[in-house]
Structure 1
Amino acid sequence: MMGDDDTGRLTRAGLNLIQQALSIFDSELRLAVCNRQYQLMFDLPDALTRSGTSFEATIRHLVERGEYGPQPDIEAAVQVRVEQARAFAPHYMERTRANGRTISVEGSPLPQGGWVTVYTDITEIKRQEGMLRAHSAELSDQLLAHAERLALANRALAATNAALEEAKRELTEIEARTRQVTEMMPAHIAHMDRDYRYTFSNRRLSTVMPGSLSDIVGVPVAEALGPDTFARIEPELARAIAGEATVFEITHSPSGRRIRIALTPDRGADGGVSGVYVLSTDVTHEAQARAALAQSSKRELAAQLTSGLAHDFANLLTIIMGLQGRLARTAALPPDAAELARATLAAARRGGTLLDRIAAISGVRELRPQPLMIAPFLTELAAMARPTLGEAVVLETSVEGLGLPVLLDPGTLQDSLLNLILNARDAMGSAPGRIALRACPVRDTWVEISVADSGTGFSAEALERGLEPFFSTKGGEGSGLGLSMVYDQTKLAGGAVRLENRPGGGARVTLRLPLRPAATATAPRLVLLVEDSDEIRAGVREMLRGMGHTVIEAASAAEARELADLPGIGLVLSDINLAGAETGVALARSLLARHQELPVLLMTSLPEGHALRAGAPCTVLSKPVSEAALMALLVPGVAA
């Protein structure tokens, strides 16, 4: 491989073979490159041919030597030429030097700034022209002058052509770089005309919207996107053609992805719109996060609204159950009154159960996603559910295309699917029937898990209101919170729930959850665990060992600092509040200063805004530390 110095020497050697003088000055008016002919033509000292020599120094040397004839004010003559260089423009000129020789000077600007100048000694050409004029009396002075002007024009034209070729080359390079940049972007960038036909595309459409065409230049938008997607964006396209910029989001039905589309009118010099610039971006993960955050906010608000009422209601139920219990135990109570007391107690107990279900919906619940194999999970779920279905109901499971673990919360997913299976059983009544539990991926975006039954299907009202809290088709037997809990847990995970009737009869409920492949466990590490509480240290140690890591322990910062120098330490996990004067934050800073490549994590029960926690130089885990939170940091791709 040739180095920069070798390339520079080859370049200079090649330039020295050129019979013309050449110099290149940069945008700061400093010499970048020149050849040997440049020094010989102007008889320059070596100091003025070195890279970095200022243009002003070179001009001053030439003016003082009389290169430009007698100058009454040398400094003014130098400054005039320097200012001309600062406002450099392409030019061609011919001038006679003080030594009597004539040279042509051709200058062209460079795209990076600065300019290149080529000097040609045309003394012999001028002498031949003079001889021709002197010895060709038969040629008119007018013809000779015309020939001289033509030669001058040809030389100037050649210089202009060279500048145009350089500009063309630069434009070609700019266009190639622009296309390369647009094709590297994780978004579809395009332009279409007023007839909704693509005139430019960075060939990323099929990546952002799988199933769409890839080579779409010259293709109508409806054909490239498909009729369904085009119908959804056509009103926005019309607004953009009318001159209104717009940004909106759609769900791309074939892939299930959430797409954000920005449309910008292409306005001409006259202000008219000749087309539309299109920027389409896949925001599926962002939409999933927004949905989960919105559901979490609604849960928090619901918890705030219901907690006080639930507390008071629970107190009232406690009083009612106590009084009715005493009344039911009265020996002389008439049979009718005893039956009323027992019915009142049953109603109160059911009210308590209802409070528990409301708390399950509105209370704070932390998602604990972990690597989950779908097929074994559904097999175990079916084995758990079959005894409750009876012999007349057949439960089938089917999994397609999910052979690798994905990140899901098995607890909430199991609760949701059991709820749906029992609802399907109730929908079929005592008649024989079939329940199908199926799972499959939707592109690389979603995991779809459906529960379908062979019952009578949803009523029109149930399809519209089935996910609302307290809506029930079971009369007094149902709380109306089953599907609502399924909806809540699915939305909290960033997913969606769909209710529908099957074409052949029966109902189907589909859960669509984010498809996040789970990374395999990292290679075992030697972890230095720093914690002054024996109980907490023992709990965290068992979590780390359960993940396959080896643990050594320290109870103070001083002890940890000595152990950190042991060979093979792959991670330091320390509490912030440690016994002694030194905190975990100070320990982390000193370890990172000594071992810049050593991963360091801190854990604490201090709140987010605490100054000591805010000053940590690394990631901080909140106590109590969960196994999911640890795995999120130690295994790439796992979310806490």
Structure 2
Amino acid sequence: VDADGHYTYTNRRLSSVFPSRPSDILEMHISDALGPQAYGKIEPHLMAAYQGESPVFEFTEAHDSRRIRVAFTPDKSGGVYILSMDVTEETQARVALQQARRREMAAQMTSGLAHDFSNLLTIILGMQSKLDKMELPPQGREMVRGTLSAARRGGRLLNRIAEMTSQRTLRPQATNMHALLSELKILATPSLPQGLGLSVLDNTPDVLLLLDAGKLQDALLNLILNARDACGVNGQITVSAHVMGQVWLEISVSDTGPGFSADALANALNPFFTTKGSEGSGLGLPMVYDMAKSAGGDMRVGNTVSGASVTLRLPYRLAPDAKGGLALLVEDSEELRATFRDMLIDLGYSVVEATSVDEAAALAVDIPDIALVLSDVRLEGEATGIDLAQRLKGSGLPMILMTSLPPSDPQFRMALKAGPVLQKTFDAQQLSALINPETPA
């Protein structure tokens, strides 16, 4: 843009970063091209660039909550060069990795303490069991039962801490959201009192998504039961699900209860905070939050005009086509290629093969009917499967990467940005679980 903020050059790609904005923006003022909301967020940085600074920053645009990174570089003529990038997928991967690191640190801190505490609880339970067999007065027997109950509750608390800090990663697989939400209502309804209604508003598209269905369903059940406790014997719980701009899957659980108090809103995601007194562990919402963050998403708690609301936002990732078709297999080991070829054929695919990124990219351009790309991370030549994912970005081709690298390896972490990663060795069932929702994980 020039010194007055009008575009003097454009590569006509603005709409690929801001889908709601035009790409033909030459001679347009930047405020008109971006719209008032986005311009309001970048204006202070643009003014700094006019003063000679080179700011690089990120913000979330309002249309469908994409994460945008912007770099401003001042020009000697008085204008500013602008580079905008959609880094939504990178941000989702970064959030997931940060959460994994937090869980790893929490596991290191708690494992030793949990082990010792578990041993103490075992001793207490053993001694109380012996006392229970003795002839005790009624008051003593009542104290034994109370001690046993408290010790067992401590054991359950330990188990929930172990679940939160364990190394169990999410296992995304092809998931039918219609079936998941329908089953959720069947599972939750028997635990609700007769005067408490449950509605499920399913506005998700007729596609298969890559999600850890078990973890997601557990999280939603947890939220429904929390809403039940808040509402009491009468009221309404509503679960609603929809997609935001092919970027996010958003699921909200709202109720007609009293809503979150100011204290609860401030501390709801802190482990062990509870408003249920001795009946609550304070780990329910933190476990749901952990699930969302581990997937690269987020969770928000708040109040509506009628009660409380908890909203999960998860990355919107399409699963490969379960109906078969043509698969592009990219693997430089002849022996492994034969193994993976057989797996794909058993799943109903025809297979074309490549050993390098250049060869695979050329096939993807020349063959229009490819329905799935299965690629190793390390391939023939210097380019990797991650580079192939970047080349194919925007093509709409579902891609699964596979690697023998450990999750701690930087390349493994980079691979997560491109989508699902299968760790070698895997079998046909694990591959199928990413493609076919009928296959158990």
Is the pair's TM-score, using the shorter chain for normalization, greater than 0.5?
yes
The answer on 1:338 being equivalent to 2:141 is yes
For each residue in 1:505-547, what CA deviation from the matched residue of structure 2 results, as whole angstroms up to 9, or x when unmatched? 111111111111112133499x9x989xxxxx9xx99987973
Find 1:452's aligned residue among 220, 237, 254. Answer: 254
Counterparts of 1:201 and 1:605, CA distance in 2: 41
Partner of 1:221: 30
CA shift in 2, pair 1:546/1:366, >3 Å? farther
CA shift in 2, pair 1:524/1:250, >3 Å? closer
AA at the equivalent of 2:5: Y
CA shift in 2, pair 1:243/1:370, >3 Å? same
AA at the equivalent of 2:177: I
Give the Å deviation of 1:252: 1.1
Find 1:237's aligned residue among 46, 53, 56. Answer: 46
Counterparts of 2:87 and 2:326, CA distance in 1: 35
Partner of 2:316: 515
Counterparts of 1:524 and 1:316, CA distance in 2: 58
Partner of 1:399: 202
- The CA RMSD measured in Å over matched residues stands at 3.3
CA shift in 2, pair 1:302/1:267, >3 Å? same
CA shift in 2, pair 1:545/1:608, >3 Å? farther
Partner of 1:286: 90
Counterparts of 2:342 and 2:156, CA distance in 1: 36
Give the Å deviation of 1:603: 9.5
Q: TM-score, normalised by structure 1?
A: 0.53
Counterparts of 1:209 and 1:227, CA distance in 2: 13
For each residue in 1:112-141, what CA deviation from the matched residue of structure 2 results, as whole angstroms up to 9, or x when unmatched? xxxxxxxxxxxxxxxxxxxxxxxxxxxxxx
CA shift in 2, pair 1:630/1:520, >3 Å? closer
CA shift in 2, pair 1:602/1:266, >3 Å? closer
Find 1:434's aligned residue among 208, 214, 236. Answer: 236
Counterparts of 1:236 and 1:622, CA distance in 2: 45
For each residue in 1:202-230, what CA deviation from the matched residue of structure 2 results, as whole angstroms up to 9, or x when unmatched? 22222211223433333333332232222
1:627 is paired with a residue of what secondary structure? helix
User: Any conservation in 2 of the 1:603–1:621 contact (CA below 8 Å)?
Assistant: yes
Q: TM-score, normalised by structure 2?
A: 0.76
User: Any conservation in 2 of the 1:260–1:281 contact (CA below 8 Å)?
Assistant: yes
Query: Radius of gyration: which is bigger?
Result: 1
Partner of 1:151: none
- Number of aligned pairs? 368
Counterparts of 1:233 and 1:608, CA distance in 2: 36
For each residue in 1:38-63, what CA deviation from the matched residue of structure 2 results, as whole angstroms up to 9, or x when unmatched? xxxxxxxxxxxxxxxxxxxxxxxxxx
AA at the equivalent of 2:284: G
CA shift in 2, pair 1:549/1:441, >3 Å? closer
User: Any conservation in 1 of the 2:74–2:81 contact (CA below 8 Å)?
Assistant: yes
Find 1:365's aligned residue among 168, 173, 193. Answer: 168
Higher RCO (CA-CA < 8 Å; seq separation 6+) = 2
Find 2:293's aligned residue among 459, 472, 491. Answer: 491
User: Any conservation in 2 of the 1:449–1:511 contact (CA below 8 Å)?
Assistant: yes
1:452 is paired with a residue of what secondary structure? strand
1:245 is paired with a residue of what secondary structure? coil
Give the Å deviation of 1:320: 0.9
Give the Å deviation of 1:485: 0.4
Give the Å deviation of 1:602: 10
Counterparts of 2:407 and 2:80, CA distance in 1: 50
CA shift in 2, pair 1:226/1:463, >3 Å? farther
For each residue in 1:240-265, what CA deviation from the matched residue of structure 2 results, as whole angstroms up to 9, or x when unmatched? 11101121111112211111101100
Counterparts of 2:318 and 2:407, CA distance in 1: 32
User: Any conservation in 1 of the 2:177–2:204 contact (CA below 8 Å)?
Assistant: no
- Write the mapping of 1:532-571 to structure 2, written as runs, cut at 5 A: 547-548=347-348
Q: Unaligned stretches of 5+ in structure 2? A: 351-400, 410-420
User: Any conservation in 1 of the 2:174–2:433 contact (CA below 8 Å)?
Assistant: no
The answer on 1:262 being equivalent to 2:65 is no
Find 1:321's aligned residue among 121, 125, 130. Answer: 125
The answer on 1:374 being equivalent to 2:210 is no
Counterparts of 2:406 and 2:269, CA distance in 1: 39
Give the Å deviation of 1:461: 2.1
User: Any conservation in 2 of the 1:445–1:514 contact (CA below 8 Å)?
Assistant: yes
User: Any conservation in 2 of the 1:245–1:264 contact (CA below 8 Å)?
Assistant: yes
For each residue in 1:365-420, what CA deviation from the matched residue of structure 2 results, as whole angstroms up to 9, or x when unmatched? 12221111211210111111101012111111122241111111101111111011
Find 2:55's aligned residue among 246, 267, 271. Answer: 246
Q: Unaligned stretches of 5+ in structure 1? A: 1-191, 269-273, 532-536, 551-600, 610-618
User: Any conservation in 2 of the 1:420–1:451 contact (CA below 8 Å)?
Assistant: yes
Counterparts of 2:177 and 2:257, CA distance in 1: 26
Partner of 2:275: 473
User: Any conservation in 2 of the 1:201–1:217 contact (CA below 8 Å)?
Assistant: yes
